[in-house]
Amino acid sequence: MDGRVGRAAAEDRRRMSGHSKWKTIQHKKGAADAKRGKIFSKFSKELMIVAKQGGGNPDSNVSLRTLITKARGSNMPMDNIERAIKKGTGELEGAMLEEVVYEGFAPGGVALVVVALTDNKKRAAAEIRHIFAKHGSNFASQNSVTRGFKRKGQLFVDSAVASEEKLMEIALDAGAEDIQPDEGQFEIITEPASYIKVVEALEKAGIKTTSSETTLLPDIYVPVTDKAKASQVLKFVEDLEDNEDVQNVYTNMDISDAVMKELEKEE
């Protein structure tokens, strides 16, 4: 991507803030999960998959290096990280994991994409289907929900670390498609093929990210302005994430600022 074209596109394009607010909720839940040790199991599975796909050396496997940083940021012990990597490369015996995607809808027509890493697809499907039924929902047909999401690289950089102009010069020239300010930080969006290049460019420039991952971002967000409905959806997502096979839950929910403030008061 031409840097000047990318900069102009980034300045002109402003998407809805739904995913940013959802990300804030996920960060809070992630911190709570880390205290209970639950998140370590999810990191272990992801480390196994990434190490299996790209090798166990973080110097040559950028995705693994990024994931290790993320896991360490959640206080995952290095021994656990190394053990998961060795299981992924076959140095230690480990379960054969498969990725399975489930799709459906929460109250208010909010779309849900559930990604599981499991060693038993039948068990995972039965348990996740039960959670959907508990919340008055069923699985949707394949691709009926995921077609409304796009795979993207998403990085966040604290605004105190670098200016927007500097980030544009580095990230956009490395292939990022969008940069925008987001409540004290900058959000960088990339195509999947450019994600590693942007990560490496920021590393080379000494710019640390507060979060870095490939994710699913919705094309259109569904506004949620009712507190009760927002609570219902959040509980649905929480129950899904509590399942041991579920790795990630993606949604197109856009919680209004007013509802967000009400929910934060209850925490």
Same domain, 159 and 212: yes
Number of structural domains the chain divides into: 3
Q: Is residue 46 included in any domain, yes or no? A: yes
Q: Which residue among 89, 120, 139 closes a domain?
A: 89
60/221 Cα distance (integer angstroms): 37
Same domain, 136 and 121: yes
Same domain, 213 and 237: no
Q: Is residue 19 included in any domain, yes or no? A: no
Within 8 A by CB and 6+ apart from 140, the residues are 103, 104, 105
Residues in the chain with pLDDT < 50?
1-20, 27-29, 31, 34-35
Q: Say what the pLDDT of residue 22 is.
A: 52
156/103 Cα distance (integer angstroms): 27
Same domain, 158 and 168: yes
Same domain, 191 and 226: no
Same domain, 165 and 182: yes
Q: Say what the pLDDT of residue 28 is.
A: 47
Maximal C-alpha separation, the chain: 51
Q: pTM value? A: 0.83
Enclosing domain of residue 33: 25-89
Same domain, 131 and 261: yes
Q: Say what the pLDDT of residue 260 is.
A: 81
Same domain, 249 and 122: yes
Same domain, 175 and 50: no
Q: Is residue 20 included in any domain, yes or no? A: no
Q: Which residue among 89, 113, 131 closes a domain?
A: 89
Q: Say what the pLDDT of residue 33 is.
A: 52
Q: Is residue 174 included in any domain, yes or no? A: yes
CATH number of the domain to which 45 belongs = 1.10.10.200
Q: Do the beta carbons of residue 82 and residue 103 sit within 8 Å?
A: no
CATH number of the domain to which 255 belongs = 3.30.70.980
Q: Is residue 200 included in any domain, yes or no? A: yes
pLDDT tens digits, 97-141:
999 999 999 998 999 999 999 999 999 999 999 999 999 999 999
Q: Say what the pLDDT of residue 95 is.
A: 81
Same domain, 37 and 163: no
CB burial readout 225-249, b (16+ within 10 A) else e: eebebbbbbbebbebbbebebbbbb
Same domain, 80 and 32: yes
Q: Say what the pLDDT of residue 123 is.
A: 97
Same domain, 72 and 201: no
Strands 110-118 and 246-251: antiparallel
Within 8 A by CB and 6+ apart from 162, the residues are 170, 186, 205, 207
